[in-house]
Amino acid sequence: MSLSTALNRANAVASFFSSVFFAVLAVVAVTGPILLHSASTPDVKLAMAKASVKMGRIGHYYDSRQPTTEMATLHFDLKADLSPLFNWNTKQLFVFLVAEYSTPSHVTNQVTLWDDIITSKEDAVLSYRRKKAEYMFSDISKKISGIEANLTLHWDVMPYVGVLIHDQSAPTKIQLPVLEAKKSGKN
Ligand SMILES: *[C@@H]1O[C@H](CO)[C@@H](O)[C@H](O)[C@H]1NC(C)=O
């Protein structure tokens, strides 16, 4: 067998295996969303446990020239079984809690209050009581006191191959408390 025949043979074998490889990737990419679609929808129970609204400075805490803003701190209860979202094409889940609300100047406002990355089916059963939101809840108008909002748990299913799938829970209605009066003698 001459060298060029051997190289031709090697080339044919390599191209066959790369075709098989890409066919397998295509099958995984296509079946991932189908498996997700047929999996049961995650059962999510979400509620606001408590919240308070205070004045504060965003970012520049020590710079007294910065204007103060109404800021809400929120604690939530969450029970969610996201394990049905794990199949052979699930690399990880990006889970985030969003508050959505309207103001006179902006119809749709979304604030992310908490997020997490879940990398295994075993860690996909979430159960939190009175968990403090990681991120401050404030609005561009500097007013957030007494606002009505919808809390929703969102999740991105990040695949090994193929497209990212996003979904969310049904909204939970909440209302933030009104601004706490300043204590006398402070500020
Ligand atoms: C919350 O969601 C419900 C149902 O989707 C909607 O009718 C309502 O306007 C929403 N409320 C707010 C404050 O966005």
Q: What percent of the chain has pLDDT over 70?
A: 95
Q: What is the pLDDT of residues 42-57, one digit of tens each?
A: 999 999 999 999 998 8
Instruction: Answer whether residue 17 shows pLDDT above 50.
Output: yes
Largest CA distance in the chain: 97
C-alpha dist (Å) from residue 82 to 36, 49, 107, 173, 183: 11, 21, 31, 22, 43
Q: Which of 144, 173, 175 to mutate to test the pocket of ligand 1 (most atoms within 8 A of CB)?
A: 173
pLDDT of residue 60: 66
- What is the Å distance from ligand 1's center to 102 Cα? 9
Instruction: Answer whether residue 85 shows pLDDT above 90.
Output: yes
pLDDT of residue 1: 67
Q: Which atom of ligand 1 is nearest to the CA of 147?
A: 13
Cα dihedral 81, 114, 78, 129 sign: positive
**What's the pTM?**
0.84
Which among 158, 125, 115 has a CA at the least distance from the CA of 45?
125
pLDDT of residue 13: 92
| Mean per-residue pLDDT, 13-22 | 92
- Is 110 within 8 Å of 98 (Cβ atoms)? yes
CATH topology of domain 37-175: Immunoglobulin-like (2.60.40)
Which has more confidence, 1 or 102? 102
| Mean per-residue pLDDT, 161-172 | 93
| Mean per-residue pLDDT, 124-152 | 94
